[in-house]
Amino acid sequence: MSQAAIELKGIACTFVSDDSGTLSTYTAVKNVDLTVADGEFVSVVGPTGCGKSTLLNMSAGLLEPSAGTVSIFGEPLVGLNRRAGYMFQADSLMPWKSALDNVAAGLLFEGVPEKEAAQRAREWLARVGLTGFEDRYPHHLSGGMRKRVAMAQTLIKDPDIILMDESFSALDIQTRQLMENELLNLWQAKRKAVLFITHDLDEAISMSDRVVVMSAGPESHPIGEFTIDLPRPRDVSEVRVTPRFIELHTAIWSVLREEVLKGYAQQQRKVQP
């Protein structure tokens, strides 16, 4: 059997904060076991503040766990995860570079000759529907277009693992569904491992092979795991009206609902102690 692309084992993450001289600790996640097989699309859903981004940051090697191990294709992760491409929630384009230069930047950084990098960036911009926009700067692109550039920027390096943190949540619903379908088409062609963080259950079900539900924090951990047996290829808007989708949604929501309510209550306590 091939090694899991990502394996989190017995993961905990405790943050220490300094509130005007008083040190306090907060264990965001604890006892987390989570795997993503090679080529598998896994979504993690859970209430706000439960530790979804924390898990993604650990898989990217941006954050070290306080306990447990992160393995990437069977090797313990040390430093940055070089086999992963990362797409953030916020815009991460360089505003002083054109769309083409933003997409080519990662290749240039790796030492790919300029001409080849530009050619490949052009091809990727075409793949995400942005031919003709190569010379535009990010502030002259719409939010949806910026996401397309970011997607090309992440995928051009052909990572074995794609890590996405609420990447489409700032988009309007139509653009969002277009982007979701585009990502699924690109994924279908290459079948990379995807760890996809979202608070949107519809999005998680329509995209994924598996949906993992996290409990509310502190000490958040997986409390449910659902195989999504909807046929592929999928169209995210069409699949959402099928009886099987509704069945899966009902089953997952019955687990998630209570955690979401707990999560909100906790956030309110944080704001009004």
Ligand X SMILES: Nc1ncnc2c1ncn2[C@@H]1O[C@H](COP(=O)(O)OP(=O)(O)OP(=O)(O)O)[C@@H](O)[C@H]1O
Which residues contact Mg ion (rule: CB under 5 A)?
A: 53
In the bound complex, what is the minimum distance in angstroms from residue 171's beta carbon to ligand X? 16
# of chain residues touching ligand X (CB under 6 A):
14
Residue among 177, 133, 161 at smallest CA distance from 41:
161
Span 49-68, contacts to ligand X by CB under 6 A: 49-54
Instruction: Using CA atoms of 140, 142, 147, 152 in order, give the dihedral in degrees to the nearest 10.
Output: -50
159 binds, among Mg ion, ligand X, none (CB under 5 to 8 A by kind): none
What is the Cα–Cα distance from 148 to 146, expressed in whole angstroms? 5
Q: Which stretch binds ligand X (CB under 6 A): 1-9, 45-53, 138-146, 179-187?
A: 45-53
Q: Is 17 in the site for ligand X (CB under 6 A)?
A: yes
28 binds, among ligand X, Mg ion, none (CB under 5 to 8 A by kind): ligand X
Nearer to ligand X, 169 or 188 (CB): 169
Q: Which stretch binds ligand X (CB under 6 A): 47-55, 100-108, 151-159, 232-240?
A: 47-55
Q: Which stretch binds ligand X (CB under 6 A): 41-49, 71-79, 138-146, 147-155?
A: 41-49
In the bound complex, what is the minimum distance in angstroms from residue 45's beta carbon to Mg ion? 11
Q: Is 199 in the site for ligand X (CB under 6 A)?
A: yes
Token digits of residue 142: 């719409």
Letter for the amino acid at 1? M
Nearer to ligand X, 49 or 65 (CB): 49
Write the CA distances from 174 to 177, 181, 200, integer angstroms.
5, 11, 15
Q: Is 34 in the site for ligand X (CB under 6 A)?
A: no
In the bound complex, what is the minimum distance in angstroms from residue 175's beta carbon to ligand X? 20
Q: Is 217 in the site for ligand X (CB under 6 A)?
A: yes
Those residues whose C-beta lies under 8 Å from the C-beta of residue 265, and which sit 6 or more positions away, are none
Q: Is 15 in the site for ligand X (CB under 6 A)?
A: yes
109 binds, among ligand X, Mg ion, none (CB under 5 to 8 A by kind): none
Letter for the amino acid at 22? T
- In this structure, are residues 213 and 256 in contact, taking their beta carbons and an 8 Å threshold? yes
φ/ψ bin of 132: left (φ > 0), alpha (ψ from -120 to 50), beta (otherwise): left
Q: Is 28 in the site for ligand X (CB under 6 A)?
A: yes
In the bound complex, what is the minimum distance in angstroms from residue 147's beta carbon to Mg ion? 17
Query: Contacting ligand X (CB under 6 A), which of 10, 26, 109, 131?
Result: 26
Nearer to ligand X, 232 or 257 (CB): 257
- In this structure, are residues 249 and 205 in contact, taking their beta carbons and an 8 Å threshold? yes
Residue among 158, 273, 163, 260 at smallest CA distance from 216:
260
Give the binding site for ligand X (CB under 6 A).
15, 17, 26, 28, 46, 48-54, 199, 217
